[in-house]
Structure 1
Amino acid sequence: MLFNSTTFLFLFLPLVVLAYHCLLRLGRAGAAKAWLVIASLYFYAYWKLEYLPLLLLSIVVNYYLGIALAKTREGRGHAGALLGLGLFFNLGVLAYFKYAGFLLELFNALGGSDFSMAALVLPLAISFFTFQQIAYLVDCYKGFAHEYGFVNYCVFVTFFPQLIAGPIVHHKQMMPQFAAVAAGGNSVAGSALAAQGLFIFALGLFKKVCVADSFAPLADAGFSQAVLSRSDAWLTSLSYTFQLYYDFSGYSDMAIGAALLFGIRLPVNFLSPYRASSIREFWRMWHITLSTWLRDYVFIPLGGSQSGTRKTLRNLLLTFLVGGIWHGAGWTFIVWGGMHGLAMVVQRLWSTFARPMPRWLGWLLTFNFINITWVFFRAPDLATAQRIIGAMFSPADSGLSGVLLYQAMQQADNPLYSIVVGGLNLSLLWLAPLVLLATVFARNSMEQSGYDAGAIALPNWKIVIAACAFALAVLFLLAGSPSVFLYFNF
C-alpha cells in the first residue's frame, strides 16, 4: 500500500489511528499495540502477500536470537557464536534475494561458465528491516537492549509508517516509546501533536506528488534516450537529483507525520542535504539514519578513525562501498559508493593539509559532485551512465536540444503534468534553478514544523498552508495514478 494512494489516505490511515486511540481510551494498551502489529502486517502484505512469510520468519528468528543473547549475557552460552549465527541468517537472506543473481553473473564472467537461476522477486523493504534487526542483535550482544516483549518487538520491526523505506530506527529510540503506551505515557496524542503530524505528512505528500513526480517524466525520458544534447543531459541529471530528493524526503516526512498520530517520534532522516558545502556535511544531512547505521556498525567496528590516517581512509572507503552495495546489486551502485568514499578520503586529506575553501565554492563543488554521481545511482548500467555524463561534458552539443520536455509530456500519465509543464512552457532550463533555490534557501519541513527542535505548536497560517498543499496533492493524485517511491527498490 502506498502512502500516496487514496486508499491509504482516506481509509487505512484514519481507520488504524481511530481504532488505536479507541483501544487506548478503553485502557487496552496491549490490544492497541497488537492492533498496530496486525494493521502493519496487512499494510505490508497489501503490496504482495508472498512477501509476508519472509518478514514473519525474520521477526521470529531475530526475536529468539535476541532472547538467547540476553541469557548469554547472564552467563550461559557463547555470545559470539550466537551473534555470528544471527549475522549469517540476516545477511544470508539478504544476499540470496538481493545479490544472488549479480554474484552468479560475476561468477560466470570470471569463470566462463553459464550457470543460471530463476529470477527472484526482491521482497519489499528487506534491506531496511534486515539492517534494523542486525543492529538489534549487535546491541543485545553488547548488553544495550533491555526490552524483549514479543508484541513490542513486532511493533518495533513492523510499525507501518517506517517499515517500507525507513527511517532505519533503533530499538533505543522506539522500544521505550511503545513500552510507554502500556504505562499510559502516550495514551492519546494531543491535538497539537496530531496537528504537527498532519502538517509534516501534508508537506511530504506534496513533495512526492507535486514535485518529485513532476520531475520523474523528465528523468525517465532522459535516461531512455540513446542520444542527448548537452543541455538535455544536464536536464536529465538535475531532474533525477530533484526527483530522488523530494521522493525520499517526502516519504520520510510522511512516515514521521503518520507516526506522530500514534504518539511516536521517528528520527529525522533529512535536513536539507543540498545545502551542504562538503561531502561529509552532505552525509550528515542525507538519509541520516543510514549514515548513522554505517558509522556505528561498519566504520567503527573496522577501527574508525582511531588507527592512524591510512587505516582511517581505508575504513571510510570500505564503509561507503558497503553503503553502495546496500542500495543494490550492480556495478553502478558499487561505483556510486566508491566515488562517495573517495570523495570522503579527498576531503579528509584536504582538511588535514590544505586551507578551508570558501563555503560558496565548497557548496558548488559538492552539489555538482552529488548531481553527477546520482547518474550512476539511477542508470540501469554503466554504459548508460557513461553516455549521459559524456553528453553533459561534451565539447560538441550533439543531439536534439529541447526534445526531452516533449518526450516527458508524452510519457507522463498525469494530465495535470502536461497542463502545468506544457501549457506554461516551464522548460527545466530555468525551472530547475528555481527549485534549487527553494531547496537550498527555504526552511525544510522539519524546521517549519519545529520537529527538529522538539516543538509541537503550530500557528494557524501554517495549518492552512498544509491543508492547501494536501488538497493540491490529492488533486494531482485524482488526475493520475499513485507512483511507487524510489526507495521501495532498495
Structure 2
Amino acid sequence: MLFNSFSFLFLYLPVVLGGYFTLLRWRAGWTAGWLALASLFFYGYWDTRYLPLLLGSIVFNYWCARHRRLLLFGVAANLVLLGYYKYANFFIDSMNQLGMHWHGWAIVLPVGISFFTFTQIAYLVDCHRGGAGEYRLVQYTLFVSYFPHLIAGPVLHHKEMMPQFDRPARLDMEDIGIGLSIFVLGLGKKVLLADPISVLVGPVFAPNAQPQLVEAWIGTLAYTFQLYFDFSGYSDMAIGLSRLFGVRLPLNFNSPYKAANISEFWRRWHMSLSRFLRDYLYVPLGGNRRGTLQRYRNLMLTMLLGGLWHGAGWTFVVWGALHGVYLVLHHGWQAVAGASAPRWWGRWLTMLAVMLAWVVFRAPDMGTASDVLRGLAGLNGVSLPRGAAGFAEPLGALGWQPAFDGIRWIDFSGPAIPALLLAMVLALFAPNTQDLLGQPLRWSPVKWRSAAMALLFLGCLFNMNRVSEFLYFQF
C-alpha cells in the first residue's frame, strides 16, 4: 500500500485515524497497541509471507535487549539476517565472475528490511552501552514497525521515539493542521515532480543505450532531481502522517543541493542515515581522534559500507567509494588551504560531483554507468535528440546544422521537461518544507495557506492516474 494511492488515502488512513481518535476518547492507553496493529497490517499488506519475519525480528531483539549478555549475539544475528536476504546472491554472483560456478538462491528481498534491521541494531548497541531504557513490548513493536517510517525511513532512534510512544496520547488540532500540510507538500513532490520526470531517466540508463551529449545530461539531471523529490517527498509524507498522531519524526532533508561542500551535503541529505553512519560506524572506528590518515581511512570505510547498505551491487560500492574520496579530498583541501572555497563556486562543484556519483548509483551495472559518463563528456556523439528538432532553428541561423539522431524519447511537448526545469529551480533556490512552515514546524489557520494546500491536494489527486513506488523501497 503506497502513500500516494487512493486505497491508502481514502481507506486505510481514515480507518486508522478513526480508530485512534475513538480510543483517545474511551481508552487512551490502548492507542499504542492500535497503531502497532495498524502498522503490522500495513506491512503485511505488501506481502504476508514476510510479516512473520518482521514479528520474529521484533520479538528476538526485544528479548536480546532484556538480556545484556546476548546483546552482541543479537547484533550479529541481525547482520546475518540482513546479509542473507540482501547480499547472499551478490556474493554468489561476484564469485561466479571470478570463475566459480555456484547457483544463486531464489531470495526475495523483504521490503524495508534495511530500515527495521538498522533501527534495531542501533537499539541493541545503545543497550550494550547502557544508554537505552526498559520499554514494554507494545511500545517496542510500535517503535520498530511504525508505518509512516517502516518501509523507507527515516532511520529512527529510540531516544527520540520511545518517550513519545510511552506518554499519554492527546488530540491536538495544531498537529492535525501541520501534519496534513507537510503530507500534502510531500505528495506534491512525488506526484507532480518526481513521477513526471521519471520518463526521462529509464531510456538513458538502459543497457547499451549509449546516450549522446544532450540525452546524457537530461537523463542525469532528471535522475538527480527525481531521486531528491521522490525520497524527500516520502520523508515529508512520513513526517506529516506521524504528526497526525502527535508523534514527531526527525527531519530527513534540508535542501542538500544547496550545500557548498560534500560534508555539508551529507549533513543535509538523508540526515537520519548520515547520523546513523556517524554514530554507529565512523565514531566507533575511531572518527578523527587518531590522526589524519586514520580519519581518512574511517571516512572511506564508512562511505563504502554506506554505499553497500543501499544495495547489493558493485555500482553501490563504487558510489560509496566516490563519496569517500570526495570527503577525503574536501578535508584534505581544508587542511592545506586553511579555508573553504567561495560558496557559489563550492555549490556548483559539489552539485557536479554529486551528479556524477548519481550516474553510478542509478546504473544497473558499471558498463552502463561508463556509457552515460562518456555521453556526459560528449564521447558518444553530440547530435540532438529528435524531439528537440523545433529548437534547432536558432542554431541554423548561426550556420550550424545539427544532426538529429540517437534516442527518440525526449518529448518537448509533454510535461517532463517543464517538470524538470521547475524541480531544478525549487531544489536549488526555493525554500524547503521546514522553511515554509517554520522551524520548529508550526501551523496557524491562515485561509490562503489552507486554500493553497487544498488546491495542491486536488492537483495531486487528478494526477494519480499512474501510481508508482518510491525509489528508496528497493534499498
TM score, norm. by length of structure 1: 0.90
Q: Alpha carbons of 1:395 and 1:384: their partners in 2 closer, same or farther (altered >3 Å)? A: closer
C-alpha separation in 2, matches of 1:115 and 1:405:
38
Could you say which residue in structure 1 is the equivalent of 2:394?
none
Offset at residue 462 of structure 1 (A): 1.9
Could you say which residue in structure 2 is the equivalent of 1:422?
413
Q: Specify which of 102, 125, 145 is matched with residue 90 of structure 2.
A: 102
Tell me if the contact between 1:97 and 1:122 (Cα under 8 Å) persists in the aligned partners: yes
Offset at residue 405 of structure 1 (A): 8.7
Tell me if the contact between 1:207 and 1:246 (Cα under 8 Å) persists in the aligned partners: yes
C-alpha separation in 1, matches of 2:474 and 2:43:
15
TM score, norm. by length of structure 2: 0.92
C-alpha separation in 2, matches of 1:454 and 1:398:
47
C-alpha separation in 2, matches of 1:275 and 1:228:
28
Tell me if the contact between 1:67 and 1:148 (Cα under 8 Å) persists in the aligned partners: no
C-alpha separation in 1, matches of 2:423 and 2:466:
24
Where structure 1 has 5 or more consecutive residues not aligned to the other structure, the ranges are: 70-77, 410-420
Aligned-partner residue type, residue 76 of structure 2: F
Q: Specify which of 102, 122, 135 is matched with residue 148 of structure 1.
A: 135
Could you say which residue in structure 1 is the equivalent of 2:255?
272
Q: Alpha carbons of 1:458 and 1:317: their partners in 2 closer, same or farther (altered >3 Å)? A: farther
Tell me if the contact between 1:228 and 1:399 (Cα under 8 Å) persists in the aligned partners: no
C-alpha separation in 2, matches of 1:487 and 1:396:
30
Bigger mean CA deviation after superposition, 223-232 or 3-12? 223-232
Tell me if the contact between 1:303 and 1:312 (Cα under 8 Å) persists in the aligned partners: yes
Could you say which residue in structure 2 is the equivalent of 1:92?
80
C-alpha separation in 1, matches of 2:298 and 2:261:
19
- Secondary structure class of the residue paired with 2:463: helix
Could you say which residue in structure 2 is the equivalent of 1:262?
245
- Secondary structure class of the residue paired with 1:201: helix
1:313-328 pair list within 5 angstroms:
313-328=296-311
Could you say which residue in structure 1 is the equivalent of 2:364?
380
Q: Specify which of 230, 235, 250 is matched with residue 247 of structure 1.
A: 230
C-alpha separation in 2, matches of 1:24 and 1:109:
58
- Secondary structure class of the residue paired with 1:84: helix
Q: Alpha carbons of 1:239 and 1:40: their partners in 2 closer, same or farther (altered >3 Å)? A: same
C-alpha separation in 2, matches of 1:114 and 1:233:
36
Tell me if the contact between 1:221 and 1:408 (Cα under 8 Å) persists in the aligned partners: no
C-alpha separation in 1, matches of 2:113 and 2:348:
35
1:195 equivalenced with 2:171 (yes/no) = no
Alignment deviations for residues 114-159 of structure 1 (CA, whole Å, 9 cap, x no partner)? 0113221000000000000000001111111113200000010111
Could you say which residue in structure 1 is the equivalent of 2:472?
487
Tell me if the contact between 1:220 and 1:408 (Cα under 8 Å) persists in the aligned partners: no
* Alignment RMSD (CA, Å): 1.7
1:18 equivalenced with 2:18 (yes/no) = yes
Q: Which runs of 4+ in 1 moved over 3 A?
A: 402-406, 430-434
Could you say which residue in structure 2 is the equivalent of 1:407?
409
Q: Specify which of 437, 443, 446 is matched with residue 449 of structure 1.
A: 437
Bigger mean CA deviation after superposition, 456-465 or 138-147? 456-465
C-alpha separation in 2, matches of 1:167 and 1:348:
27
C-alpha separation in 1, matches of 2:134 and 2:231:
30
Alignment deviations for residues 172-208 of structure 1 (CA, whole Å, 9 cap, x no partner)? 0000001012xxxx321x2122110000000100100
| Percent of paired sites with the same residue | 47
Could you say which residue in structure 2 is the equivalent of 1:366?
350
Q: Specify which of 205, 226, 230 is matched with residue 187 of structure 2.
A: 205
Tell me if the contact between 2:193 and 2:423 (Cα under 8 Å) persists in the aligned partners: no
C-alpha separation in 1, matches of 2:416 and 2:251:
33
Alignment deviations for residues 261-317 of structure 1 (CA, whole Å, 9 cap, x no partner)? 100000000011010010000000000000000000000000011111010010001
Where structure 2 has 5 or more consecutive residues not aligned to the other structure, the ranges are: 388-405
C-alpha separation in 1, matches of 2:347 and 2:362:
22
Bigger mean CA deviation after superposition, 43-52 or 381-390? 43-52
Tell me if the contact between 2:200 and 2:416 (Cα under 8 Å) persists in the aligned partners: no
Aligned-partner residue type, residue 486 of structure 1: L
Alignment deviations for residues 73-121 of structure 1 (CA, whole Å, 9 cap, x no partner)? xxxxx4xxx22211111000000000000111222333x2201132210
Could you say which residue in structure 1 is the equivalent of 2:155?
168
Tell me if the contact between 2:192 and 2:419 (Cα under 8 Å) persists in the aligned partners: no
